[in-house]
Structure 1
Amino acid sequence: MPPAPTTPFADGGAKCHRSGALIWVPLRSKWVEATHQPEEVVRQEWVRRLVVDGGFELAQMDQERRTQHGHGSPRADIVVWESAAKKASEAAAIMIVETKATDGPVIESDFRQGNSYAVAGGAGFLIAATATAHAIYQLTPGFPGKATQINEWPKKVDFGSQKRLDRLRHSLRAFDRDEFQKLLSDCHDLLRDHHAMTPDKAFDTISKMLFVKLRIERSGNHGTFTTEFLDKREEVRVAGDEEVHERLFEETKKYYRADDLFGDTDRLEISSATFRAIVGKLERFNLSQTGDDIKGIAFEQFLGRTFRGELGQFFTPRPVVDFMVDALDPEEGELICDPAAGSGGFLIRVFDHVRSKISSDIEQKKNEKFQEISAEYPTDATDEQLAKRDHRIDEAFAELNENLLPTESDGGVADTRVGRLAWDCIYGTDKEPRAARTAKMNMIMHGDGHGGIHWHDGLVNINGIWDDRFNVIVTNPPFGATVSSSQLVGGTTESDVPDDPAYQRRMRNRYGDDWNAGYQAVVSARNTPILDTFEIGKGKKSRQTEVMFVERCLRLLKPGGRLAIVLPNGNLNAASLGWLRRWAEGKAYLRGVVALPPETFKFSKASVSASIVFLDRFTPEAEAAWQKAWDDALDFTKESFDGQRDALVANYQQRIVTADGDETLVDLLTRLGTLGVTRELPAYARAAEAGLVRGAGTTSIGNAKWVGRGTGEAAALKTKYISAVQSHNATIKTLLAELKAALKEVDEAQTAAMWTYVREKFDYPVFMATPKSVGITATGDTGSHVANDLPEILSKWREFREWQANGFPEGGI
């Protein structure tokens, strides 16, 4: 054992004393072996910080303090009293520090021991710290007590002034969304004023800077990205080298290379002074330690307010997004896609929704593990036993927490529950490059779910996006545009896929053999119209884009998959689009329609009246049941409508061959009849429906023909008839046209009867709602102050889905 050091800390207080695997513990005046106690390293670093940075004395501190002996006694890693005398008298502590050896952000529920001690002991502040992050809480006494996160931990000098403590409690609160959003807007204004940047250019520049900041802070080597950091880099810069801010951006491009966020030629294109000014504005907080809900939603709101004028079509109001995703209720392990992702709003909400479920499950497992381990120790456990218990609990929690990490520390894929969600389950495309890149940035700000987002035409397969693959599709496709026959597969970069061997190997390694079918569908269709790759587009000159996305989404779904799509109301009620509704009716269950109020999209260029449509793609069993209902409908209606056709033909038969009763033609045909020769219409022919929409089929009939052979006198009479009928061709043509029209009406009537039959036999309830308000005003304002009927509708929807899952039992919901 090495001798005791002469000072509490090494290098003038710059670091803790270390000797091999040992660390000096000044509050216990002994060396401790830290190999199997990594939490000791974190604890002693905070003892050092409290003394060196906070001005506290070791005499007013203690470590591993308990409120009492025995089972369940809360322990505090570090306790700070107002003075050494207060400590000796066992007065209430002023601050508690609880430490964990794990890396990563602070998870508040993991620090229950420190919080319990602080509440029991009346302490006013709690510092919760991991090896790479910390959070500070102001505590309110009482049960259950309230912990409010603040931005700075109090120093000794602060406790000597009530005014300074009040400033800590009330002024330096943790960053909230509004503060972050305001800072981003301030940076936007600075770029506009200093460099005359347009909104989109300024937004791109801020995004780049945020990723520089995020990369540096994620490393854990530098703390918060500040102007001081820039100044230190400037000090070691060699004359002639790139300026510091451009060098930092180049390093960031390399870090995010696998995400295709930035092009090789991308630069910041701002002055070092402007870069420094923006860093100064943002240096008050650490991006890697700011909650995903804070920085993500603030970034999204800033994005929306910046771009609604220029790129409003890429935004769906947040309350509508929340409702649609919550209504679909994606589960862990399900594959989700938005083939018209815009800025990524739906995919972000999906990521948050599923991650929240994972977090809740992990929290339940923590509680179970806590109870399991605690039950192994007696009520009169010794301090040594309690320390072992707490160590085991911390290790169990740390192991469970690993599943909350979306990426490894180097930015790579993490094989964790949230990692698999982020990298393997969420996919999206958008053909507008800025929208696609923004979606990636937006996803990273929300917690790294960005691996499957691509700049690509959403109607063409790319990477992990192909037919029959997804459990859930949620989207708001572009309105008002068209897909024309001139748009070819492979005709543009965003409608093609790479074909080099390295790409193919990479895709097969990631997705397996199933990937190949989707890839070959693109390769084999190169240079053909995109329309021709779809059932509803084949052979057409153009189709509305939103109509094409209906088929695209249903095809992307696995059988039984769930779709929520925003569609213009014309898709639901326009007579000209009746074919689309019937086509979809034979492919999927219509589960619900929520009509959105007119102001929902007033803020965007795509100002239309629209509804949310919920569809479930047929399973093979449902498809077979629907086909049986259709076949039964044909059988049920055939005899009746064939009888109508027979009667029509019989009725028109004599009229057509006699030109509606011409005496000469009647006489000739009568005489021919006595000789065994007649003039008759052929039997009508029936053909199956050849169009997109199922129908009874079409009936056709040709011109009248001779039946029976006639020679001699019969031949002469036939010649006379042919000569006499010439003057009546117009009449006969008109009558035949009438017959054909009448037969067509019968076909249409049978089709209508068949659809009625199918809908009766294949009947099921459909959820309908017409909210008056959906949380957004005509100017695009959202927030808790804006009326929103969607939460109540969501509750009703969930009741409906449960009723449906139970087979729609009698009595209703």
Structure 2
Amino acid sequence: MHFETEIVVDKPTVAPPKLTIFMIGADEFMFCPVRGKIYKVNAKPEEKVRQWWIYRLRDTYGYGFNQLSVEVSVKVGSSEAKKKADIVVYADKTKRVPRIFVEVKKPDRKDGLDQLQVYMNATGCRLGLWSNGSPPHVYLLRMEPKGGVEEASWRELRNIPASGEKISDVDSPITRDQLVPVKDFLAILKECEDHIKAHEGVNVFEEVFKLIFAKLYDERRNLKNDKSPAQFRVGALEAASDARERVVKLFKDAKSQWQGVFTAGEEISLKDDTLAFCVSALQKAYLLKSDADVLGSAFEVMINPTMKGDKGQYFTPRHVIDLCTAVLKPKDNETIFDPACGSGGFLVSAMDHVFASIRAERDDESEILENQKDYASNNVFGIDYDPIIAKVAKAYMLIWGDGRSNICVGDGLNEANWNDDIRSKFLIKIGGKRVPRKFDIIATNPPFAGDISAEDTLSKYRVAFKTDNNGRTKRKGKVARDILFLERCLDFLEPGGRMAIVVPRGFLKNYNDEPVRQFVLKQARMRAVVSLTGNMFKPFTNTKTCVVFLEKRASELKAVSEAVDDPDVVYAVSENPGKDRSGRLIRDLNGDIVSDLGEIAEYLNKNLQWGET
């Protein structure tokens, strides 16, 4: 939202020609051209959004101020709605027939769409607009009930019609040049989620992800130039069944092209009207041109946090991932592995880093794309035990790598139940025995809560055994999950390989973890430690964590005392995590996270040289 600012002595008595905030000392005032009054707006961000839309309706859409009303009572049944309508746009200046209801919210508020639908249902108005001042704004179309159905259905338009325009004027087939990279994908997904929950009894994430999969295929295969029409669309006046037929075909073709994400028998289960609403909400976004982190973060929030939280695994903030990538510096000839990959955040970040370097070093576009595809298809690997979230990671690799994925669903700690495909990717035979394959880089945030007591798992790990005062070795009854992952990662790491791992801060100082620390130091040089605040993983947990950077030794030390000649460990403490106490990301006006992790990455890179002896 853009406002003019003017410092004045007295309160204005007429509406300014442009949207203006008048400053009288420290107080902010805005003159409402509809009510003809001036209002103090210091603590009223919603009023600022309302005034922005009042001027926007005039300047962008051609509706006169005399066609608008604010704070309009709406009769619902025999009584009035508890909340008045924020703005009503009428068909003309007589203000008899409402054409558009507008519901505004203060920035960052996501609610209110259901209230807008109440107004529209009560009056029969077909057009609605919801906005908190930032895209994506929701342009809602009410579809009249048909065939004995009592409840209206809903579609999203790409825009509202201007004064003098009809609905059909904003309903032409959407083309590639009209798609927009999405900044707040979560808001769109939540909109779909709320609608599906209100109308269907299906797994919301599964169904929405099927639609996204189909849309990504459409963008990749069908949008060849700016004027190519999207097949993933629904017209405002189109029959929902026609849109379904088109989208179901896209999903079928996507499954055939990108095999391994969905099984052959999985189909879109949404009913026609629900599918049409979700497609209308998604169709404006250009997903392939959107930041992969934006998409991944939204998927992670959509999935019930308890699915991960009960096992101590919390999705890693993207700026923590980017810190790790900046320090690890993956190259296009190196492999990277995450044994607890979640939605693939570390892997996508590595791909972004390598893709950028490939593009910077080459000038032939076909060669650039081929090298990027080769890296994504052959060098990026991950495992996660959760089949739903692993499906997201697998889709990322398939789509960005354009054809092949090395993401598998399985227990990263125990290969006993791995199928042949997983074994072929992560195990090699040496002397008739299968052992972990070696990777150049490991970047991971493994689960750090919950103990493992299964004998078939513990028996594989040296940290699961202890030696008593008499020199006898005995297996422990249980071992913390994160401790086992430490050893597992070292087993998969190539000598000289680099690793970044998120661990509870207590690992570095707890007395009981001293044997584990010694085990790690015998296996690897500790190159750097970055301490993170307790806010970093909120709202899911306030556990204090740190990122440990390790470099695997050529051979294991016999005693920790031999590590005395290792390079000094580089330490850093994050004081500005980019999150507030509630766990919400703090962003600047450009949308960038306000954090000191970028500065810390620069400090580490200045003071840490991999391969240093």
Q: Does the TM-score normalized on the shorter chain lie above 0.5?
A: yes
Deviations for 1:505-537, whole angstroms, at most 9, x for unmatched residues?
xxxxxxxxxxxxxxxxxxxxxxxx122222223
Deviations 1:258-279 (A, max 9, x none): xx21134423221111112222
Report deviation, 1:233.
11
Secondary structure, aligned partner of 2:365: helix
Distance 1:230 1:617 in 2: 62
CA 1:564–1:295 in structure 2 vs 1: closer, same or farther (change >3 Å)?
Answer: closer
C-alpha distance in 1 between matches for 2:294 and 2:406: 23
Find the counterpart in structure 2 of residue 603 from structure 1: 539
Contact 2:531 2:545 in 1 (8 A): yes
SS for the counterpart of 1:600 is coil
Task: Please name the residue that 2:357 is paired with.
Answer: 357
1:342 corresponds in structure 2 to: 342
**Equivalents in 2 of 1:300, 1:261: separation in Å?**
16
Distance 1:228 1:282, change over 3 A: same
1:464 aligned residue: 425
Structure 2 length normalisation: TM-score?
Answer: 0.60
Secondary structure at 1:775's aligned position in 2? coil
Matched-pair contact (CA < 8 Å) for 2:447–2:482 = yes
1:789 aligns with 2:596: yes
- 8 Å CA contact 1:314–1:343 kept in 2: the answer is no
Shift of 1:249: 3.4
Answer whether contact 2:342 2:384 (CA < 8 A) is retained: yes
Aligned counterparts, 1:38-187, within 5 A: 175-187=180-192
Aligned to 2:550: 615
Is the aligned partner of 1:776 residue 2:579?
Answer: yes
Q: Decide whether aligned partners of structure 1 residues 276 and 317 sit closer, same or farther in structure 2, where only a CA change above 3 A counts.
A: same
Equivalent residue for 1:485?
A: 454
* Residue 299 of structure 1, CA deviation: 1.5
Structure 1 residue 212: deviation in Å? Answer: 1.4
Please state how far the C-alpha of 1:443 moved relative to its aligned partner: 4.2
> Of 494, 497, 515, which aligns to 1:561?
497
Specify whether residues 218 and 788 from structure 1 end up closer, same or farther in structure 2 by C-alpha distance, changes over 3 A only: closer
Q: CA deviation at 1:243?
A: 5.9
Match of 1:188 in 2: 193
Query: For the residues of structure 1 that align with 2:214 and 2:252, how far apart are their CA atoms?
Result: 9
What residue number does 1:423 align with?
A: 377
Question: What SS does the aligned partner of 2:497 have?
Answer: strand
- Give 1:227's aligned residue: 234
The answer to whether the 8 A contact 1:336-1:425 is kept is: yes
Higher strand content, 1 or 2: 2
1:277 to 2:264 alignment: no
Quote the offset at 1:617 in angstroms.
0.4
Q: C-alpha distance in 1, partners of 2:366/2:598?
A: 33
Q: State the partner residue of 2:211.
A: 209
Distance 1:254 1:175 in 2: 27
Counterparts in 2 of 1:353 and 1:215: CA distance versus 1, 3 Å? same
1:441 aligned residue:
395
Q: Deviations over 1:378-437 (max 9, x none)?
A: xxxxxxxxxxxxxxxxxxxxxx212333xxxxxxxxxx2111111100000011111211
- Aligned partners of 2:215 and 2:277: how far apart in 1? 14
In structure 2, the partner of 1:533 is 460
Amino acid across the alignment from 1:472? I
Using a 3 Å threshold, how does the CA distance of structure 1 residues 544 and 553 change in structure 2: closer, same or farther?
A: same
Structure 1 residues 446, 608: CA separation in 2 closer, same or farther (over 3 Å shift)?
farther
Q: In the TM superposition, what is the alpha-carbon distance from 1:254 to its structure 2 partner? A: 2.7
C-alpha deviation, 1:226, in angstroms: 1.8
The 8 Å contact of residues 299 and 445 in structure 1, kept in 2 or not, is answered as: no
Q: Does the Cα contact within 8 Å between 1:767 and 1:797 map onto a contact in 2?
A: yes
Question: Aligned residue pairs: how many?
Answer: 402
1:767 to partner: Cα distance: 0.6
Is residue 296 from structure 1 mapped to residue 296 from structure 2 by the alignment? no
* CA shift for structure 1 position 283: 2.6
Q: Residues 609 and 449 of structure 1: is their aligned pair in 2 closer, same or farther, counting only changes over 3 Å?
A: farther
Amino acid at match of 2:538: K
1:401 to 365, 390, 395: 365
Alignment deviations for residues 50-85 of structure 1 (CA, whole Å, 9 cap, x no partner): xxxxxxxxxxxxxxxxxxxxxxxxxxxxxxxxxxxx
Q: 1:433 to 1:174 in 2, by over 3 A?
A: closer
> How far, CA to CA, are the matches of 1:261 and 1:783 in structure 2?
34
Alignment of 1:235-250 (within 5 A): 245-246=247-248, 248-250=250-252
- Matched AA of 2:199: H
Residue 317 (structure 1) aligns with: 317
Determine if contact 1:320/1:774 at 8 Å carries over to the other structure. no
Q: 1:552 to 1:567 in 2, by over 3 A?
A: same
The whole-number CA distance in structure 1 between the counterparts of 2:602 and 2:264 is: 48
Distance in 2, matches of 1:614 and 1:285, equals 38
Change (3 A) 1:321 1:557: same
Q: Return the alpha-carbon distance in structure 2 between the equivalents of residues 232 and 271 of structure 1.
A: 13
Q: Secondary structure at the match of 1:337?
A: strand
CA distance in 2, matches of 1:571, 1:577: 6
Q: Is the 8 A contact 1:338 1:474 kept in 2?
A: yes
8 Å Cα contact 2:385/2:411 also seen in 1? yes
Q: Post-superposition shift, 1:286?
A: 4.8
Q: CA deviation at 1:485?
A: 2.7
Residue ranges of structure 1 left out of the alignment (5+ in a row): 1-151, 153-171, 367-399, 406-415, 487-528, 631-693, 695-754, 808-813
Equivalent residue number for residue 100 of structure 1: none
- Aligned partners of 1:474, 1:325: CA distance in 2, in Å? 8
Contact 1:177/1:297 (<8 A) preserved: no
**Distance of 1:276 and 1:295 partners within structure 2:** 25
Deviations 1:117-145 (CA, angstroms, capped at 9, x unpaired): xxxxxxxxxxxxxxxxxxxxxxxxxxxxx
Tell me how far apart the structure 2 counterparts of residues 437 and 248 of structure 1 sit (CA, whole Å): 18
Distance 1:230 1:418 in 2: 41
Counterpart Cα distance in 2 of 1:215 and 1:788: 35
1:375-386 equivalences under 5 Å are none
The answer to whether the 8 Å contact 1:324/1:474 transfers is yes
Instruction: Give the distance between the partners of 1:441 and 1:778, measured in 2 at CA.
Output: 33
Structure 1 residues 780 and 268: alpha-carbon distance in aligned structure 2, compared to 1, 3 A threshold: farther
Cα 1:442/1:423, change in 2 over 3 Å: closer
Alpha carbons 1:595, 1:612 under 8 Å: kept: yes
Alignment of 1:489-500 (within 5 A): none
Give the CA deviation at 1:540. 3.4
SS of equivalent to 1:608: coil
Distance 1:182 1:480, change over 3 A: closer
* 1:83-130 Cα distance to aligned partner (Å, 9 max, x none): xxxxxxxxxxxxxxxxxxxxxxxxxxxxxxxxxxxxxxxxxxxxxxxx
Give the C-alpha shift of residue 789 in structure 1: 1.3
The alignment partner of 1:357 has SS state of: helix
Q: Which residue of 1 aligns with 2:487?
A: 551
On the 8 A contact 2:258/2:403 being kept in 1, the answer is: no
Instruction: Using the TM superposition, give the Cα deviation of residue 329 of structure 1 relative to its aligned residue in structure 2, in angstroms.
Output: 0.8
Q: Structure 2: how far apart are the matches of 1:217 and 1:548?
A: 42
| Distance in 1 between residues matched to 2:241 and 2:448, nearest whole Å | 50
Deviation at 1:587, TM superposition (A): 0.9
Distance 1:449 1:484, change over 3 A: farther
Residue 373 of structure 2 aligns to a residue in which SS?
helix
Task: Name which of structure 1's ranges 184-193 and 305-314 shifts more when overlaid on structure 2.
Answer: 305-314
The 1:457/1:309 distance shift into structure 2, 3 A limit, reads closer
- For residues 712-743 of structure 1, the C-alpha deviation after alignment (integer angstroms, 9 at most, x for no partner) is xxxxxxxxxxxxxxxxxxxxxxxxxxxxxxxx
Residues 748-763 of structure 1: matches in 2 within 5 Å? 755=561, 758-760=562-564, 762-763=565-566
CA contact (8 A) 1:593 1:611 kept: yes
Measured after TM superposition, the shift of residue 232 of structure 1 is 9.7
Distance (whole Å) between structure 2 residues aligned to residue 230 and residue 203 of structure 1 = 27
Instruction: Return the alpha-carbon distance in structure 2 between the equivalents of residues 584 and 469 of structure 1.
Output: 17
Q: 2 CA distance for matches of 1:263 and 1:778?
A: 42
Q: Answer 1 or 2: which has greater helix percent.
A: 1
Aligned-pair identity (%): 28
The Cα shift of 1:480 comes to: 1.2
